[in-house]
Amino acid sequence: MATITNKPAAVPGNVPSALPADAGLKQVGNLKVLVFDNYDSFTYNLVHALKELGVKNLDVVRNDKLNLDEAAVYDKIVLSPGPGVPSEAGLLLPLIHRYAPTKDILGVCLGHQALGEAFGATLVNLGDVHHGLSESVHTVAYDPLFAGLPASFEVGRYHSWIVAAEGLPDCFEVTSLDDEGQIMSMRHKTLRLHGVQFHPESVLTPDGLRILSNWLLLND
């Protein structure tokens, strides 16, 4: 299994600061957000976090209950964590294929893996399951999700699969790694797609609200 060995770098803009000022709350409150639920207990932690950040117009739809046409009305889509692999998660991959060109999508854990797989990345099963672990990740490229964060920060991990570094499609840029050089986040170079292997909604991710807030405030 290949890993990426970039050393942690100080990334422009990734320095400590407060959460966005109230000026951004109106923008967030006007968003229509779909949380695509992959039958995971963390889904409602994500929902709670998004509502805490000011999202008022939010729907939660399970991965085998969505009419793909109905997703067209949403400004942003969150792909939740979940068990198994993306191909087993109902309409997860079809949703990505349909809306990746036009929607702002954040993939969390399984959702992150699905973004990679939808564009041709492969997944690797880890020998050791990362479940409820607090570990460090290190930014290696600029990512607007991490604006206001230090170059290294703690996150909560709950997974047994990762997106393989070997053969990662060129359309993705890796933006953070763990201590072993495994991909912890990535973003598409031309589309509005972001994936995080860790759980920003977990209490083990102290900067999780900042990460979710940064994503909600992205508008380009």
Residues forming the active site: 109, 199, 201
Residues 6+ apart with CB under 8 A from 86: 92, 93, 110, 113, 114, 117, 118, 123
Give whole-number Cα distances, 97 to 93, 111, 115, 162, 200, in Å. Answer: 6, 13, 9, 20, 24
* CA separation for the pair 172, 195 (Å, rounded): 10
Question: Which tokens is 62 given?
Answer: 């399970």
User: Which residue intervals of 67-173 are DSSP H helices?
Assistant: 92-99, 110-118
User: Which residue intervals of the chain are DSSP H helices?
Assistant: 23-29, 43-52, 92-99, 110-118, 208-217
